Chain A
Amino acid sequence: MQMDHIPKLTMRIILAMVLAFGTAQISSAMDGPDAVELNALAELYGPVNFDHTMHTDIAGDCAVCHHHTTGTPPQDPRCAKCHAKSGPADEVACQSCHAAKRFEAEYLNKLAADNTIYHVDRLGLKAAYHQRCMGCHEESGAPNGCQDCHTRNDAGDKVFHAGQYAPPPSAHKAKEGH
């Protein structure tokens, strides 16, 4: 009984951490987590449950998503010039390199203050996800619409003037008549 409790508790802590950090990846094994909850768009959308294991199988090579950070040689020859043998990085989570607040003054000032930074055009976290995910999803014919991955919440419906906040159909027709 006690033994059963411990893994449950651990699972709960892991889940809590995932929720707390939104996009945190918990290394449960050498191969990475089984699933990652992506919650960078929590304001307008529900979280995305990313099946890491399934995507690892499809991608075949960690470098497809993790570039050079997992120790596998990078795929892009441009990256290989510096990173061919740079070895695994301490942090491999997307958000450890791709800033969640890419265009806030804090990040922009950090870039401006250090002229030795090479990657001045590095994507922010949200764009890193979307560029990577949507690029592959399009190539492989996987679902690629906004709401195929994201369930819009009530606040999202409000911003998009959709769902229960959609303008009445007569509004559009009335304007057309003018």
Chain B
Amino acid sequence: MSKILMKIDGKEIEAEEGMTVLEAARTVGVNIPSLCHHDKLEPYGACRICTVEAQKNGRSRLVVSCVYPVEKNLEITTRSETIDRARRTILELLLSHAPDSEPLRILAAEYGADKNRFEKEPSFCIHCGLCVRYCAEIKGLHAVGFINRGSKREINFVPELVAAECWSCKECFPLCPTSALQAAYVFTAAQVSEIPVFEGDTD
């Protein structure tokens, strides 16, 4: 692996070819917020909260650090008024779904996001896709997936697989930043009557 010299927040750093900007930043202790990123999973680039500014050949633009590959002489800025504004609006949009989510509340405090800016939405899910991707990429089970598109997009368990696999796994549960996953699971489990919903609930 060849080394790549670049700058993050004015500091010279050495990154390895093939890394993303987010990974490079974390190796040198620079924290960039993320919601849909997971070290074990393929980069996804959906929540856009890890947006940073990239300067190259005198030109600057906003890029998403979890998918943007490192390159020679790249200069990255991880905080600026523009970046913070984008992150704040993203958080406000997500808080309309999951106002009580712990990770969102911590970030909201940091970026001054107002959880009441947009009207409340009925679904908790913020579509980070952690459950879907973990189940597919790590477990190879594909028990949970997306359905529909646009604002109608939702996560959805395959009932047969819930019965066969999920009860003994549930590894995706702690990954969920909101309580949407459990809600979807309980909903599916309730449809498949022979599956116990929760321990102790088998009578």
User: Are these two chains actual partners, yes or no?
Assistant: no
Q: A residues within 8 Å of B by Cβ? A: none
Q: B residues within 8 Å of A by Cβ? A: none
